Amino acid sequence: MRSLFTPLLAILLCALSLGGCAAQARGHKTRLRPGTVDLRHVNTKERVDRLALFKGSDPRKRRVSKQAHKVFRRYLRDWRHDKSHPVPEALIWNLYLVAHHFDRPLEIVSGFRAKERASSRHRKGVAVDFRVEGVEPKVVWEFCKTRFKGVGLGYYPTSRFVHMDVRPKSYYWIDDSGPGEEAQYREGVSQRRPKPVKKRSAKPARKRSTKPARRRSTKPARKRSAAGRSGKEGSAPAPSASKPPADPGAAQTRAKSPAPERSRK
């Protein structure tokens, strides 16, 4: 018995180890802890795991910590000119919510640009170009439109990233240009903020009544008499034979007798 059990156990352990290696090779889905994000920089190859965003242990005090601000400022810096700019807390919040919706690390493509035109959101330090690891950029773009208000959201299918900035009024666009090319904006991009899809709650089944059903009466219907049917049809009933006819003389006597006079006070 032991001779059979030992080879089977060895085969099972080998299969489990191979399955674990295959899962790592496929890039198993990362499980982010609440209040943390994983960041990857596409150009500098920097990475940070489980960056704690909020200070304190009280979840009601949702303020981004100074350390998290420093890390985001570094990852969104102009790495070509080694210049940085403070990152708005609203933008950090949005990136955090995106990361936890897809439960994946964020890949930073570009942030602050020191040599950009003055009107650029990148020059003002309120924009970021990013991806979500293992997720199509268009899926990320569509989700951000349903989730956030007061943002600029651009989808770049050629360069394969999503642009996000903070602004007073939301605006959406699609740009088919590649790196270093002039903008090629698509026409007819809807500016309506799509409504999030709500899951329909299953209605509970109606309970059947346990009361017994009312039984119909088995008594035969009562038959109406011929006189009753004729009265209903409008013909006058025959006079009763037991009642004597009225005396016409008595009626005349009552009519001729004068009425008594009323005394005046």
**Range in 66-75, 108-117, 153-162, 237-246 the model is least confident about:** 237-246
pLDDT-derived band at 166, boundaries 50, 70, 90: very high
Top-level class of domain 36-174: alpha beta
Q: Using CA atoms in the order 127, 130, 136, 142, what is the torsion angle rounded to 10 degrees?
A: -20
E-strand spans in the chain? Answer: 36-41, 47-52, 106-110, 127-132, 151-156, 161-166, 171-174
Domain boundaries, the chain: 36-174
- Predicted pLDDT of residue 62: 78
Q: What is the mean pLDDT of residues 216-245?
A: 56
Whether this model's pTM surpasses 0.75: no
CA atoms within 13 A on the CB side of 147: 18
Q: Distance between the two ends of the chain, CA-based, in angstroms?
A: 135
Q: Mean per-residue pLDDT for 96-118?
A: 95
Query: What pLDDT sits at residue 13?
Result: 40
* Strand-pair category, 127-132 with 161-166: antiparallel
Asked whether the predicted pLDDT for residue 140 surpasses 90, the reply is yes
Mean pLDDT confidence for 76-84 = 94
**Residue 15 · residue 8 · CB < 8 Å:** no
Average pLDDT over residues 196-206: 57
